[in-house]
Each structure stands twice: as structure tokens, then as C-alpha cells.
Chain A
Amino acid sequence: MSKNLTINLLSGYQENEDALFAVNLAEAALSKGYGVKIFLYGNGCNLANQEHPVQGASHMNARLQAHMDIGKIGPRLEKIAAMGAEIATCHTTEYGRGTEGDAYRVGIKWGDVGQSFTKFLLTSDVLLTFGH
């Protein structure tokens, strides 16, 4: 029986490499047959929502855009959800950021600490928390 990993991700886009590391780890674990659950908490909740690209010409040059794109791991969250990861976000931290009610990326669900995170723990063997 495969083991399950819960990742509690406290960091969002760009601020550090935690989200990138978490997604890399999740992909590796899923590819080896482990179960993965990700709880997006604190700034991690910023990863949950669909993007709102600017219309018309971008005001970024290509080099800067390429640099920023390294940390935009939202599409990879959709990929690992399609691979079987359960991903939930904390609606309270979304509320605090004014994003509660925004559409979620495919495969990411509304959640909370008392229900979603606790359920993740009760169905996991290992908990890892990333963020600072």
C-alpha cells in the first residue's frame, strides 16, 4: 500500500523557492506511486486561483518575463492534480488577501484547516511544512 504525503505550503509565487521545491517534490513523489496532498495556507493560497492576464501589450521585457515565469508554478499544480494529487486551499487566508471567491485552478478545491487539512493529516503518513 503506497504511503501518503501531505505538504503544507505557506509560501506563494516569487517570494522564495518554497513553492517550486514543493511542486518538484510532489511531482517526484507522485511519479513514484506515492499519494500527495497539498494544503495551500498563508501566501500559499495565492497559488490556488486562475490568473488574470493583462489585455494588450505587456510592459515587461522578455528577459524579465522569463525570470518571473520560473516562479509561476500554477500550471504545474494543475498537472499534479491531474496526476492524482489532492489540493485544497485555505479560504480564510484567501479572505485576508481579498481573493476568496476568485475562480480556482483546475483540480484545486476550497478548503479550511479544521476540515480539509485535518482530513489530509488523518489520511497521510508524513507531513512536511514549507514556508518562511
Chain B
Amino acid sequence: MITSLCVIVRRPKGEELSTLGIRTVYATFMGGMDAKLLCIEDGVFNLLDNPGYNTEMLNELSKEGAPIYALTGHLQARGLSESNLIAGVQVIDPAEVAEIIEASASVAAF
């Protein structure tokens, strides 16, 4: 039985894969699953405080306490920092990514 899920989103807002990934975290977390979101590569752009469906889902997830992570090096490579992101995002390094994935029963990349 899979009861925990780490969803990795690599694509930015505007591409359907980003919405599918965030939607997967939203639906499974709100349904009681131990679901987490990790944004890497251009997926970190989803975490900017812009209007739209992706941001609405992310803000609701954040308010409900869902873990939302961004990889620090991928933010820096795109000229972004924690101050640019919506509230509740945890900026992590690669070693922490490994820990999060090891602690998850399943991983899905979008």
C-alpha cells in the first residue's frame, strides 16, 4: 500500500505537466495521503506569487500544512530567492532531496 508520495515538478507554469503535478499533490494531500511537492529546474517558477490556478492550489496546500520544497541551486540559477516565493516554501539542498525521496513510498515526476 502506497501511503506517501513525493511529486517532483520540473516544468513551469504554462505547461500542463506543472498543473498535473501540483494537482496530484493537492488531490492526494487533501484526501489524507502523506504527499509532498518538490519543485526543481523550471518547476521553481510555479512557486512565484503570481495569479492563476497553480498558485491558488499551492497557497491552499501551504495553508493546510503540505510540505512544499524548492531546490536552492535551481532558484539561484534562475535569479530567484526565497523572498520571491509564496509563503510556506522550504528551500532545501540536494542532500535534503535525497532524504525526502528516501522517506517517500513513491515518487512521481512531472
Contact = CB atoms under 8 A, between A and B. Distances in A.
Given A113-B24, A113-B28, A121 B17 contact: no
B103 interface: no
A118 B23 CA distance: 12
Interface string A101-132: 00000000000111101100111111101011
Given A10-B110, A42-B16, A129-B108, A122 B2 contact: yes
B2 A121 contact: yes
B106 A114 contact: no
Interface string B3-25: 10100000000001100100110
Given A96-B16, A117-B24, A125-B1, 7 more contacts: A113-B27, A114-B31, A118-B31, A124-B2, A127-B107, A131-B110, A132-B17
A43 B108 CA distance: 16
Contacts of B27: 112-114, 117-118
Given A112-B27, A118-B27, A127 B20 contact: no
A41 interface: yes
Contacts of A115: 31
10 contacts: A10-B110, A41-B20, A92-B23, A96-B16, A113-B27, A118-B27, A118-B33, A122-B33, A124-B1, A127-B108
Interface of B: 1-3, 5, 16-17, 20, 23-24, 27-28, 30-31, 33, 106-110
A11 B58 CA distance: 24
Given A126-B106, A127-B108, A10 B33 contact: no
B5 A121 contact: yes
A122 B3 contact: yes
